[in-house]
Amino acid sequence: MKMLFLGDLVGRSGRNAVIDRLPSLVEDQALDFVVVNGENAASGFGITEAILQDVLDAGADVVTTGNHVWDQRDTLVYIERQDRLLRPVNFPAGAPGRGAHLFMARNGAQVLVANVMGRVFMDALDDPFAAIEQVVDNCPLGQVADAILIDMHAEATSEKQAMGHFLDGRVSLVVGTHTHVPTSDHQILPGGTAYQSDAGMCGDYDSVLGMEKDEPLNRFQRKIPAGRFSPALGEASICGLALETDDRTGLATAVAPVRIGGRLEPVWPSFWQPRGA
């Protein structure tokens, strides 16, 4: 199965780049399944229902989130009717929405997607390891799910790496989000699970984590807020991870970063068709 995971959409620049480019990627690369983290899509903070629908219409099968999921207050309401929007599974009991679900891919396969949030340097939530283990135990790879993708939304690379090893051999992919900077540690772990500490963001990299530079610089230097954070509006880089899995086991057979456009050096997976083919 051929899949694509895209890192955090940041503001208008990031979401427009993905909405414009994703349809051709799905068609040209015959992608079976696409996951996009959309938690910074609405002016850098959360995601509106209209933006969510635009991303889904462009070809995303699932949109994950993280610590900014409730920044658009109406998300608390519409998430109940949008079953392709996930919030972290380790939110306390009673939180609206869902953190994991089994979805059908374009090729008819069953794909389990789970969104989980770390606790190191993050808000205090339920244990992410216990929460994700319950999800995976209830829908095992190769028995119920043909593939399992985990979005680990976390600050600390150590916590993300620990989750990768914790789930190695039991899921198809563990990929980190939240820090907005693509890491170079993509690999297939010994048990067959693909891993990368952070997919990076889909946004303008002439910025501070996708935000216009002046206010972050001001706060670092003066420690006094002078205004709001605003997403940078220059050309976005689309950053993510391409994944292929074994149809029999659901484990990874190939993984590679994807970087398209903007300021970052482009990266194109060797196992994809050439650009424009």
Exposure class string for 114-133: b at 16+ Cβ within 10 A, else e: bbbbbbeebeebbebbebbe
Report the C-alpha gap between 159 and 139 in whole angstroms. Answer: 23
Residue 180 annotated among the catalytic residues of the structure? no
Contact indicator for 195, 186 with CB cutoff of 8 Å: yes
* Catalytic-labelled residue, pool 68, 153, 178, 186: 68
Report the C-alpha gap between 54 and 75 in whole angstroms. Answer: 15
Strands (E) across the chain are located at: 2-6, 8-9, 33-37, 62-64, 100-104, 110-117, 147-153, 173-177, 187-188, 194-196, 201-202, 238-245, 252-260
Active site residues: 68
